[in-house]
Amino acid sequence: MNRATFAVMAVLLATSLFSARLDASEQRNVLLICSDDMRPQLGCYGDPTVKSPNIDRLAGRGMVFEQSYVQQALCSPSRISMLSGRYPATTQIFEIGRTLRATMPDITTVPQHFKNHGYHCRSFGKVYHVGIDDEASWSEPAWHSKKPRYGAIGQAAMEARRKEYAASGTVPPARGQGMVFYAGPAFEATDLGDDDLLDGDTAARGVEQLREYAKRPDQPFFLAVGFANPHVPWVAPKKYWDLYDRAALPLARNEFPPKDAPAFAATSGQDFRWYGNVPEGPLDEPFKRACLHGYLAAISYVDALVGRLLDTLEETGQARNTIVVFWTDHGYYMGEHNWWGAKHNNYEGATRNAMIIAIPGQKSAGQKTRALAQAVDIGPTLIELCGLPAADGLEGRSLKPVLDDPNTDVHDAAFSWYPKAGYLGVAMRTDRWRFVEWTKPGQPPVHELYDQHADPQNDVNLAGRAEHAELIRSLSAQLRARFPVKP
């Protein structure tokens, strides 16, 4: 090797080492913020009533996905699907109870993939599900606040029910109707401070962890922070209730089940009815308004906590290299179809969620996209954005092309699942249509079809109309080419 060649190689090697050090110092972190039961009722989604300045601020430096869908409208299956990057058809988890490892013991989850590539991964609050976590996903055990969900009123009601059980010698159920927790009201405005409640304590712990990471700038992190609100009970400090005029809140205009829909499909969960102050039978207007008031107050409470996390990123300088994802685990019904505090089905209101992705230096900052997106896309997207090797088995697609150009599409459909009455329903949402095919062994398929352009809230099922017969056959073939019915 002559001297000139050696000199050139030395320069190239030095440049390579410098680039490697630069890449390491600029390694992107991930802050994943999850909110429970928050439908896309936010200022950045065009809602004129809700007060969500901090989430809107995130949207201003990121991208709002206006047609984002979860893979099942139920907390645990939805979160397992998102964090595993697999459809429920693959995880085979359609209910709350089993962990992911019960069906896929050797799976590598999305956060686990980051952990395997040098990231420190933490979970605070409701990220998977309380009591249904995944130890292998995190660098340290998942953390859950011990502070109450309720204020004084709810805590007193719970204590009274405990005493009733103790006096009768009855053991309260650990899950379902009759459990001590449901003695509390469906909503409560409390004089407690933000950090005296579970979600505020979770935010405080997330802020503390971000400050710890700031002391170790060479350690990339994947931090997931999950809030319980606005899942019922809607409990928030009174100052968030004071943001709203209850009398001015708009009520749903479609308080009837989807017309011509299968009876078994046109239902939702009933756990809202288990709370201590919910009356039997139809709800009167004052109670409906109180529920809406509580729901919006809970959203604004979460919004303030999101703001604290974003402020901490800015204060510590970590905003420059941290991707922030705000994601909600499904939609929610607040009076539409006469369903309250519920999801548990395959309709648009249950499966459409809020999702915002903000990347440092994002060219498309502040824009919205109508591109179809799914929860299973989050993993592939973050892996590509952080420059990690692709992970095996992920079933979503990276949304980076959409983040680069909001007019780009990576999907022609989004998919959701729900089991009901022995049927398994698979919903396929295209740009225009919501098509649902329900299958049950020994029974012919049952279909639903909704025109999302003319009927965005799924008020009328068109599947039985003769003029749509060919469309039904075409959509069914498209769905089953993607997800064949198992014999």
For residue 233, say if its preceding peptide bond is cis, omega within 30 degrees of 0. Answer: yes
Residue 27: partners with Cβ closer than 8 Å, 6 or more residues away:
220, 321, 386, 387
Q: Is 453 a catalytic residue?
A: no
Distance, in Å, from the CA atom of 296 to the CA atom of 29, rounded to the nearest integer, reads: 31
Catalytic residue among 34, 44, 75, 121: 75
In 3-state terms, the chain is what percent helix, strand and coil (to 5)?
Answer: 40, 20, 40
CB 259 within 8 A of CB 460: yes
Question: 10 Å Cβ neighbour count for 260?
Answer: 15
Q: Is 34 a catalytic residue?
A: no
Catalytic residue among 129, 231, 330, 337: 129
Sequence letter at residue 454: A
Token pair 């931090």: residue: 223
Question: 10 Å Cβ neighbour count for 363?
Answer: 9
Written as six digits, the tokens of 54 are 């901090």
Token pair 């409701």: residue: 126
CB 294 within 8 A of CB 38: no
Question: 10 Å Cβ neighbour count for 39?
Answer: 23
Distance, in Å, from the CA atom of 266 to the CA atom of 420, rounded to the nearest integer, reads: 10
CB 318 within 8 A of CB 210: yes
Residues with a catalytic annotation lie at 75, 129
